[in-house]
Chains A and B, each alone.
Chain A
Amino acid sequence: MASPETKPATAGARYSAAGAVARLLGRFSSARRKYGLEWWILIAGAAVILFSIYLAAFPATIARYDPLDQEAGPQMSAPSRAHPMGTDNLSRDVLSRMIHGSRTILGVAFAAAILSSLIGIPLGLLSGFVGGALDRVLSLVMDSIYSFPGLILAIAFAAMLGPGVVNITLSVAVIYIPTYFRLVRGQTLSIKEELYVEAARAIGAPRRTILGRYIFPNVIATVVVVFSLNIADAIMTEAALSYIGLGLPAGIPDWGMDLSMGKKFLPSGVWWMITFPGAMISLLALGFTMLGEGLSEILNPRLLEK
């Protein structure tokens, strides 16, 4: 990759990236002084996310039991010292299942968000930049998908593809492509008219450079916010799919699946089998939402005037 021709470009990118980071940090520190609340929302969200990433990265070192161990304790016992979140109908330790399950849901949500942004962002850039018939067709398709209830689309995909980590990731990813497309297309349309883009065009910059070096970096700031909110949504979609029973094969610990299992024993008052998985899903989704909210208020200070 390190051919002599690409070197100056990389150096330039590094320079502008460093500048962008410095600007961002400057904004953050001034935001912390000016807007205490938003800052703390951001920090709280980030803390939740980091904690869950820690759980997902090293589940075996934290959890006391194997999440699939059917002899971890007595059957369906209420929370106790040995099992802080109780045990389920197969005598598995609920806490250990929660810790190991974080890996599944985080993995699927992250992968799905990355996948849909990888498809949605380039399409949005292209559609907004090129315009014309391509833009009209792409917009019609994306708007139609966007208007349709995402979960139902994901259910249809998951039902056709069958269970499995890759399949559920694809099913979740497909419904968020229009989100990125619409955002990036709108941004591209307005940035395209900016003076500096016209200047670049005037000095004869090729279209690819204009798109890659002038428009894309300015679009990406808003994408960060949406990405975080998107993960929150993807978490809930993943949980919903596996709650319905379309998610993952039985051997993988998964919060949504645990919830649907707990639902069966709810009438006999087994509260711990539904309380903890649901609380974990909500907490994780809340973490990403708070991060996104905090970022959006700090990155777009104009909104703060409200």
Chain B
Amino acid sequence: MLRRPDELKNLLRYALTRILLTIPMLWVLLTLVFVVLRVMPGDPVSAMIGGHAPERVIEEQKEKLGLNRPILVQYFAYLGDLARLDLGNSMIYNQKVSQPLLEKLPATLELTIVGMGFTMLIGIPLGAYAASRRRTGRDFGIRLFGNVAYCIPVFWMGLMLQLVFGIWLNLLPIAGRTGPRVYASEFQKTGFYLLDTLIAGQWASFGDVAVHLLLPSLTLGIVLSGIFIRLTRANMLDTLKADYVLAARARGIPERRVVYGHALKNAFIPVLTMLGLQFAALLAGAILTETTFSWPGMGRLLVERIYLRDYPTIQGVIVMFAFFVSIVSLIVDLTYAVIDPRVRY
């Protein structure tokens, strides 16, 4: 950690460089979104109105949306709007694109964060255990579970959990964020329902919200745990070979504490990086999970608006994802730099 003032200076310098590096990355992503949605064949207006509309109507609509301007002009207008955090207006509803985005974002984040929690809760202990029992039946079993979990499409996992826990056992709800007699308007503040119900002190609603969150987040957690099992195991195998582990064993510290105290702590740093990299996968998984569980988040919004061909909103959702991914990778790198001084130089 930080001990001397010049270490702090190094850290700040690193942070600044890293923040500046985010800008070109974000720019490339935003340009990519523009190319996919505006330059590639298929134009939103004819797609929305349908091929049979008279040319004049199509041109009018294009005029209104500024789609008949030269492509470069459109590009700079697009970047300019984004710089002012203006995502434009929906083509279908009379609303700003940012309105549904801000409404749905907390739902997706809640799902993603709890899902991430399950992933780590399942992946890290199993990976560490497998490493400590290297090349035994249990190690093989855990690795097999990890590989199989990784190959299960997240939406199928969701459907099967719905079938078993929702339909056959009739234990858990399979759709939505709240039950029929719980009204979100009674407690909604931040949009994170777990938090909102706690703030409002409505324990019954909290239970209901938690129960609704359980299956979708568990789905995400199980599927993504495969990668974490594998990574934790690989890192643990390295740290278990280190001298300080040998030293700890020689001092007669119980094997359990050596594995989970000494070794796991040091195997954790690469796992943290992985967490950042997996955030993108988690978001992708969240889209599919939301579709499966009728979860009113960004993913479902994206899919809904694709059916409606509401291009400005589609673009808004994707731009939002791009922002998120860049910011998360920035945060992870900075955290990494604080934990591990070698990164800063």
A interface with B by C-beta (< 8 Å):
37, 140-141, 143-145, 147-153, 155-157, 159-162, 232, 236, 239-240, 243-246, 259, 262-263, 266-267, 269, 271, 274-275, 277-279, 281-282, 285-286, 289-290, 293, 306
The listed residue (B168, B291, B307, B326) touching A243 by CB distance below 8 A is B291
The listed residue (B28, B291, B322, B326) touching A140 by CB distance below 8 A is B28
Q: How far is the CB of B332 from chain A (nearest CB, A)?
A: 11
- Could you give 18 example pairs across A and B, Cβ below 8 Å? A37-B140, A147-B280, A148-B29, A148-B322, A149-B283, A152-B321, A155-B303, A157-B40, A160-B40, A160-B41, A240-B155, A243-B288, A244-B291, A269-B163, A269-B168, A271-B167, A274-B156, A293-B147
B147 touches A274 (CB 8 A): no
Bound: A37/B141 CA distance, A = 12
- Measured CB to CB, the nearest residue on chain A to B233 is A306
CB contacts (< 8 Å) of B343 on chain A: these are none
A156 touches B318 (CB 8 A): yes
Q: How far is the CB of A272 from chain B (nearest CB, A)?
A: 10
- Measured CB to CB, the nearest residue on chain B to A283 is B151
Q: How far is the CB of A283 from chain B (nearest CB, A)?
A: 8
CB contacts (< 8 Å) of B24 on chain A: these are 140
Given A161-B40, A286-B151: A274 touches B160 (CB 8 Å cut-off)? yes
Q: How far is the CB of B15 from chain A (nearest CB, A)?
A: 19
Q: How far is the CB of A169 from chain B (nearest CB, A)?
A: 15
Beta-carbon contacts of B21-42 to A below 8 Å, as 1s and 0s?
Answer: 0001100110011001100111
B151 touches A156 (CB 8 A): no
B284 touches A159 (CB 8 A): no
Bound: A293/B143 CA distance, A = 12
The listed residue (A147, A155, A161) touching B325 by CB distance below 8 A is A147
Bound: A211/B341 CA distance, A = 38
A141, A156, A236, A277 interface centre (most CB from chain B within 10 Å):
A156
A141 touches B287 (CB 8 A): no
Bound: A162/B44 CA distance, A = 12
Beta-carbon contacts of B167-193 to A below 8 Å, as 1s and 0s?
Answer: 110000010000000000000000000
B234 touches A306 (CB 8 A): yes
CB contacts (< 8 Å) of B147 on chain A: these are 286, 289-290, 293
CB contacts (< 8 Å) of B151 on chain A: these are 232, 236, 282, 285-286, 289
Number of A-B contacts (CB under 8 A): 137
Bound: A152/B238 CA distance, A = 35
Q: B268 on the interface (CB 8 Å rule)?
A: no
CB contacts (< 8 Å) of A141 on chain B: these are 28
B33 touches A156 (CB 8 A): yes
B150 touches A289 (CB 8 A): yes
Bound: A141/B30 CA distance, A = 11
Q: Is the interface of B mostly helix, strand, loop or mixed?
A: helix
B156 touches A259 (CB 8 A): yes
Bound: A232/B287 CA distance, A = 20
CB contacts (< 8 Å) of A149 on chain B: these are 280-281, 283-284, 321, 325
B288 touches A157 (CB 8 A): no
Bound: A125/B51 CA distance, A = 44
Q: B90 on the interface (CB 8 Å rule)?
A: no
CB contacts (< 8 Å) of A286 on chain B: these are 147-148, 151
CB contacts (< 8 Å) of B321 on chain A: these are 148-149, 152
A152 touches B283 (CB 8 A): yes
B interface with A by C-beta (< 8 Å):
24-25, 28-29, 32-33, 36-37, 40-42, 140, 147-148, 150-153, 155-156, 159-160, 162-163, 167-168, 174, 234, 237-238, 280-281, 283-284, 287-288, 291-292, 302-303, 306-307, 314, 318, 321-322, 325-326, 329
CB contacts (< 8 Å) of B322 on chain A: these are 148
CB contacts (< 8 Å) of A269 on chain B: these are 163, 167-168
A148, A150, A306 interface centre (most CB from chain B within 10 Å):
A148
Bound: A145/B30 CA distance, A = 10
A156 touches B160 (CB 8 A): no
Bound: A149/B237 CA distance, A = 30
Q: A156-B37, A275-B163 given. 7 additional CB < 8 A pairs?
A: A152-B283, A156-B318, A161-B41, A246-B306, A259-B156, A274-B156, A282-B148
Bound: A160/B34 CA distance, A = 12
- Measured CB to CB, the nearest residue on chain B to A267 is B167
Bound: A161/B37 CA distance, A = 10
Bound: A159/B42 CA distance, A = 10
B36 touches A282 (CB 8 A): no
CB contacts (< 8 Å) of A278 on chain B: these are 152-153, 156, 159-160
CB contacts (< 8 Å) of A148 on chain B: these are 29, 32, 280, 321-322, 325
B25, B153, B322 interface centre (most CB from chain A within 10 Å):
B153
- Measured CB to CB, the nearest residue on chain A to B38 is A160
B155 touches A159 (CB 8 A): no
CB contacts (< 8 Å) of B329 on chain A: these are 147
CB contacts (< 8 Å) of A140 on chain B: these are 24-25, 28
Q: How far is the CB of B223 from chain A (nearest CB, A)?
A: 10
Bound: A259/B321 CA distance, A = 26
